Chain A
């Protein structure tokens, strides 16, 4: 197990939090009510806080003299290893909630396992994050029920979002060669074992929300290998703007 193995493993987890945190922060000030605005911003804050813990650890592991911000802002698109789900746009509130719920359920299960990692840093980050993510899951799950079993209009919108985002769920369980290596060493998580309980959980909630389960056989993937959707370039050009325009400065 080299530091490089660990660093690449962290990207596969932390980049999800960074990109989803960035996506949700786009909504700050534009929520459907002040209460949801505040709650979604809280989720973004949690995710970005988690990202910082992971990237600080990357900076420690790296042989180069780098900071959390170098990790966050100065990689090329291909070097970000987040799943495609989290980079999907804020099309409407239904997409925001479904994206969040699909991610939160996975995130919670992943952290539950990561808590038992042999790596003490992973243990500590997972333990702290679990408290936050159990709240995220409750928030997005409750809202998905409201949207699904609310009005005709909300049901249509929620169903549309579920249908469109379902194709990004399978990638959550994709293991890269590096992921396998880190999992086998007892540091990382074998996510393939989470797949069945994951689909059981989200299927049960979708049923409670009176929504249909999509009958999709084909799933999108690529993010974990750094091949992203067209949305990713725009996310990064926004996010990296200052660091790229004014290199090597302190902010």
Chain B
């Protein structure tokens, strides 16, 4: 009887904590790291924020592939700065994630072991300079559509990080589009290069918005916690509606025979997405999955002695300081 009484009190307390938490979210107030939160909320946020952080740092690799070969000094500097921005995004997203009680090392382990996912688009190869334009225009474009709603998501550190991420991403998108515009105003070879890049990146960019709503497992809960404001299919439609006119301005043809503006709905109808390809890449069978993970793993493993040295040196300095103080 006594135990039962205690349990009832605990249940009551838990219920009231949950009510306070739900009420805060309903009032659009932020949940901060020290606030009480349900375990599932914490886990879901670790999963999503770390997945996002991993995407930023793995995303550095396909674009990094063209830094040394950029065609002009101006483009080289802009690309370097862009890839550096991605590293910065990774840094503050990992930091936001760490506030939920997980270490950077654990997060990296999850990435390196394949337990954690990252955006599949980065498993496609960058084959020409135009791919750098196409990634900025399409991949950053799709990322912005995904991410703008996150600026008002319920978890404070994530929401604040996203405000800055989105500002920089929109700059990257304009930069990418400007690369495409320059190519499309150039020689036939440059136009062909731009068209080829669009042909290869269009469908993976559409897949980036996630599986169709009936296949998406996390949508309902995520909507409740304001981790999502629109469904994947709504976001995809928004991306297509926004991007097709941009392709028209460039004079490029979107590689979809079924793409057509629908006067009744006010949206573009589009063809079937090859979800088989999407799931294959998610499962690790894309052209660059292995290279991307091994590049990240090598950087981390080869850097171990450097990190150890920094810690050892700091310890020695601290010891010296103590001795001097004594």
Chain A proximity of B217: nearest CB distance (Å):
30
Contact B73 A149 (CB under 8 A): no
- If A25-B80, A26-B68, A239-B69 touch, whether A38 touches B87 (CB-CB below 8 Å) is yes
Contact B309 A33 (CB under 8 A): no
B252 within 8 A of A: no
Contact B307 A42 (CB under 8 A): no
> Which of A111-119, A193-201, A243-251 faces chain B?
A243-251
Chain B proximity of A247: nearest CB distance (Å):
10
Contact B306 A38 (CB under 8 A): no
Q: How far apart are the CA atoms of A197 and B94 in the complex, in Å?
A: 43
Interface-centre pick from B72, B73, B299 (highest chain A CB count, 10 A): B73
Contact A93 B94 (CB under 8 A): no
Residues in chain A near residue B306, CB distance under 8 A: 32-33, 36, 93, 147, 154
Contact B73 A250 (CB under 8 A): no
Contact B84 A45 (CB under 8 A): yes
Residues in chain B near residue A146, CB distance under 8 A: 309-310, 313-314
Residues in chain B near residue A92, CB distance under 8 A: 302
Contact A29 B80 (CB under 8 A): no
Chain B proximity of A139: nearest CB distance (Å):
13
Residues in chain B near residue A242, CB distance under 8 A: 69-71, 129
Of the candidates B73, B83, B187, the one whose C-beta lies within 8 Å of that of A29 is B83
Q: How far apart are the CA atoms of A48 and B84 in the complex, in Å?
A: 14
B91 within 8 A of A: yes
Chain A proximity of B265: nearest CB distance (Å):
39
Chain A proximity of B264: nearest CB distance (Å):
42
Residues in chain A near residue B219, CB distance under 8 A: none
- If A29-B83, A68-B73, A69-B72 touch, whether A249 touches B187 (CB-CB below 8 Å) is yes
Residues in chain A near residue B81, CB distance under 8 A: 45
- Chain B residue nearest to A157 in the complex (CB): B305
**CB interface residues, A 27-81, toward B, < 8 Å:** 28-38, 41-42, 44-45, 48-49, 51-52, 55, 68-69, 72-73
A145 within 8 A of B: yes
Residues in chain A near residue B312, CB distance under 8 A: 150-151, 154
Contact B64 A28 (CB under 8 A): yes
- Chain B residue nearest to A34 in the complex (CB): B91
Contact code string B59-84 (vs A, CB < 8 Å = 1, else 0): 01100100111111111110011011
A169 within 8 A of B: no
Chain B proximity of A205: nearest CB distance (Å):
14
Q: How far apart are the CA atoms of A124 and B306 in the complex, in Å?
A: 37
Q: How far apart are the CA atoms of A28 and B73 in the complex, in Å?
A: 16
Contact B69 A238 (CB under 8 A): yes
B255 within 8 A of A: no
Contact A32 B299 (CB under 8 A): yes
A16 within 8 A of B: no
Residues in chain B near residue A157, CB distance under 8 A: 305
Contact B182 A150 (CB under 8 A): no
- If A26-B68, A45-B81, A93-B306 touch, whether A250 touches B87 (CB-CB below 8 Å) is no
Interface-centre pick from A32, A45, A243, A250 (highest chain B CB count, 10 A): A32
Contact code string B308-326 (vs A, CB < 8 Å = 1, else 0): 1111111010000000000
**CB interface residues, B 35-74, toward A, < 8 Å:** 57, 60-61, 64, 67-74
Of the candidates A44, A72, A149, the one whose C-beta lies within 8 Å of that of B80 is A44
Contact A149 B313 (CB under 8 A): yes
Of the candidates B69, B73, B80, B303, the one whose C-beta lies within 8 Å of that of A69 is B73
Contact A150 B90 (CB under 8 A): no
Q: How far apart are the CA atoms of A51 and B182 in the complex, in Å?
A: 24
Contact code string B177-220 (vs A, CB < 8 Å = 1, else 0): 00100110111011000000000000000000000000000000
- If A25-B68, A28-B60 touch, whether A41 touches B87 (CB-CB below 8 Å) is yes
Contact A151 B305 (CB under 8 A): yes
4 additional contacts (CB under 8 A) given A153-B308, A154-B312 = A28-B83, A36-B303, A48-B76, A69-B73
| Contacts A/B (CB < 8 Å), 10 sampled | A36-B303, A38-B91, A48-B77, A69-B72, A93-B306, A149-B316, A154-B306, A238-B69, A243-B71, A251-B75
Those 9 A-B pairs whose CB atoms lie nearest each other, nearest first: A32-B303, A150-B309, A154-B309, A242-B71, A29-B60, A251-B71, A32-B306, A29-B64, A146-B313
A contact set with B: CB distance below 8 Å: 22, 25-26, 28-38, 41-42, 44-45, 48-49, 51-52, 55, 68-69, 72-73, 92-93, 145-147, 149-151, 153-154, 157, 238-239, 241-243, 246, 249-251
